[in-house]
Amino acid sequence: MDVLSLEGRVALITGAGRGIGAATACLFARAGAQVALLEKDGTGVTRVAEAIGVKGGEALPFTVDITDAFQVERVVDGIVKEWGGVDVLVNNAGIVRDATVEDVDDDDWADTLDVNLRGALVCTRAVVPHMVARGSGRILSAASVVARNGNYGQTAYAASKAGIIGMTRTWARELGPKGITANAVAPGFIDTEMVKSVPEKVATRIVESTAAKRMGRAEEVANVYLFLASDLASFMNGAVVGVDGGMLL
C-alpha cells in the first residue's frame, strides 16, 4: 500500500458540501477512501458525492445537523452498517458570526460555539466507540490561525477554534492508548466562500501580513488532512498543524 493511500478506509467529513470540506472529500476519495459527506444543506454534499462517483470513487451524502446528537448517531450507525466502520473523522464544519466584543449577540455566540465546538464533540463522541472496537482511528479537527493569534471582530469564532485545540489535545491523551490519534489543522485565510464577505481592504491587509503574500487554497488544507489521515502521521498525536502561509511569523 502506498503510504499516502487511504485504500480500505472509511472517512466521515463534516461541512463537506463546499470549500475545504469538499476538497478534502474529493482528495480522500482519490486516495482510495470511502467517504461519507455530512452537511446541513444537502444540495452541496449531493453535488460533491456525484462528482466523486463520476471519477470512480465511493461517496455517500447525508443531510444532517451535526449539533443534533440523535441525527449524527443515526448517520454513523448507517455508515458502520454500510461500510463496516469509521477510520477517519474530519471535523471540518464551521460558521462565522463576526462582531466586536461590545456587539457580540448572545444568539450568535451560542450558534457559533454550538456548530464549531459542540458539533465536533457530537461527531467525535459518535465515532469513537467504533474506532475503539477496531483499535485504531484518526480524529482530525479544524482549528484556525485566529485561535492562536486572535482576530478583530471574531470573539466567538476565535473562542470556538481555541476550544477545538483544547479538545484535540485532551482526546489525544484519552484515546492515544487505544490506538486513536487526534490532531488539529489551523488554516490561515483560505480562498473559500467563508472569506468572500471580507471587505477588500481587510483582505489586502491579510495578504500583506502573510509571508506567502496570498491566500491559501482549499486543496492545500486538504493535502494536510490527507497526510494526517495516512500512515505517515502514525506518531503524530495532539498536534496543531498550521496551514497559514507564514501568517504567524
Q: Tell me what pLDDT residue 63 has.
A: 97
The total number of structural domains in the chain stands at 1
Q: Tell me what pLDDT residue 160 has.
A: 98
Cβ density class 40-57: b for 16+ within 10 Å, e for less: bebebbbebbeebeeeeb
Tell me, yes or no, whether 248 lies in a domain.
no
Tell me, yes or no, whether 31 lies in a domain.
yes
Q: What is the CATH number of the domain that holds 78?
A: 3.40.50.720
Q: Annotated catalytic, 225?
A: no
Distance CA(249)–CA(243), nearest Å, equals: 12
Instruction: Say which of 28, 62, 83, 157 is annotated catalytic.
Output: 157
Picking from 195, 122, 193, 117, the residue whose alpha carbon sits closest to that of residue 161 is 117
DSSP assignment of 106-152: HHHHHHHHIIIIIHHHHHHHHHHHHHHHHT-EEEEEE--HHHHH--T
Distance CA(112)–CA(84), nearest Å, equals: 33
Range of the domain at 98: 10-243
Distance CA(91)–CA(112), nearest Å, equals: 14
Tell me, yes or no, whether 1 lies in a domain.
no
CA distances from 2 to 6, 86, 87, 189, 226 (A): 9, 20, 17, 31, 13
Distance CA(43)–CA(225), nearest Å, equals: 24
The grid coordinates listed for 188 are 490561515
Tell me, yes or no, whether 2 lies in a domain.
no
Tell me, yes or no, whether 5 lies in a domain.
no
**Computed from CA positions of residues 142, 118, 44, 82, in that sequence, does the dihedral angle turn out positive or negative?**
positive
Q: Tell me what pLDDT residue 19 has.
A: 95
CA distances from 38 to 41, 126, 165, 209 (A): 9, 14, 22, 34
Query: CB under 8 Å to 127, separation ≥6 — which residues?
Result: 12, 76, 86, 89, 137, 139
Tell me, yes or no, whether 132 lies in a domain.
yes
Q: What is the mean pLDDT of each run of 10 residues along the chain (249 residues)?
A: 85 97 98 97 96 98 97 97 98 93 94 97 98 98 94 92 98 98 96 75 86 95 98 97 93
Tell me, yes or no, whether 65 lies in a domain.
yes
Q: Give 34's strand partners.
A: 10, 58
Contact between 224 and 243 under an 8 Å Cβ cutoff? The reply is: yes
Amino acid at 202: V
Distance CA(192)–CA(35), nearest Å, equals: 21
Q: Tell me what pLDDT residue 2 has.
A: 61
Q: Tell me what pLDDT residue 197 has.
A: 66
Picking from 188, 151, 147, 184, the residue whose alpha carbon sits closest to that of residue 168 is 184
Tell me, yes or no, whether 3 lies in a domain.
no
DSSP assignment of 150-195: --TTBHHHHHHHHHHHHHHHHHHHHHGGGTEEEEEEEE-SBSSGGG
